[in-house]
Amino acid sequence: MSPAAAPIRLVNLTLGYDRRPAVHHLDGVIAPGEALAVCGPNGAGKSTLLKGLAGLLAPLGGAIDRGGLPPRDIAYLPQVVEIDRSFPIDVFDFAALGAARRAGLFGGLGRAETARVEAAIGAVGLVGFEDRALDTLSGGQMQRALFARLIVQDLPVILLDEPFGAIDEAAIEDLLALIAQWGREGRTVVAVLHELDLARRAFPRTLLLAREAIVWGATEEALSPAPLARAREMGEAYDREARECRRDESLRERADAL
């Protein structure tokens, strides 16, 4: 794995659905190896932003410059509620899906890939659960399995959407340690978080979002009382019937130049 070689730049970025903006006019840089928390009220566009970064949602305006990194080299972990756990697959094979990019979806695992999967399962504390079906796992165990798959993917940028929801304290501590390890390896981590205490503990920088950036900077500043109050006010004032967001021409030229 080669760590992210270039920053990810957002230039006047607007994302949304049916031409209605969910996130608009974002400008900022995510540095290589950075751990960035994305916080804000419900409906602030946090998950939408992650889908844009992952290449799953095309911008309505502006641009995302990934520094030449293709979206397939970005690992994306959606909210656990979006995972279909009824599919008949065990923990080992689920984690092994992370190797599909290297081995092919229907390719067999060689010795090296098998060892990688075993090491990932051990790293998340699921030794002994390899043969367990996903639908038998607790919330914390399922989240550990998802992180094992991320380890096997071995990608330079990792996007996490509410990774700590409804899991026990032991799982939280183990997964925080894994995120810290990713930082030491030079991987970029962007995580949507509702748990502000965890953002303060583990993420040096934060984007406080309420469909637009309230603060993008040091976590201590972004999660201070005044910006949080501003984010709540903007969340309460959100117009769900907002019209299409239009960029001014100077900002359009900046995005088109990328």
Q: What is the pLDDT of residues 108-129, one digit of tens each?
A: 688 899 999 999 999 999 999 9
- C-alpha to C-alpha distance for 24 and 122, rounded to whole angstroms: 41
Q: Is the pLDDT of residue 106 over 70?
A: no
| pLDDT single digits (tens) 192-246 | 999 999 999 999 999 999 999 999 999 999 999 999 999 999 877 655 555 555 5
Q: In this prediction, what percent of the chain has a pLDDT beyond 70?
A: 87
| pLDDT single digits (tens) 31-68 | 999 999 999 999 999 999 999 999 999 999 999 999 99
- Angle of CA points 199, 99, 119, to nearest 5°: 65
Domains (range + CATH), the chain: 8-215+224-242 (3.40.50.300)
pLDDT band at 249 (very low <50, low <70, confident <90, very high): very low
Distances (CA, A) of 201 to 97, 180, 212, 256: 31, 11, 24, 38
- C-alpha to C-alpha distance for 226 and 228, rounded to whole angstroms: 5
Q: Is the pLDDT of residue 18 over 90?
A: no
The mean pLDDT of the chain is 89
- C-alpha to C-alpha distance for 65 and 12, rounded to whole angstroms: 11
Q: Is the pLDDT of residue 248 over 50?
A: no
- DSSP conformation class of 238: -
Amino acid letter, 176: L
Instruction: Decide: 33 and 227 in contact? Cβ < 8 Å.
Output: no
CB count within 10 Å of CB 80 equals 18
Residue 157 has phi, psi (to 5 degrees) of -125, 130
Q: In this prediction, what percent of the chain has a pLDDT beyond 90?
A: 74
State residue 38's pLDDT score: 98
State residue 167's pLDDT score: 87
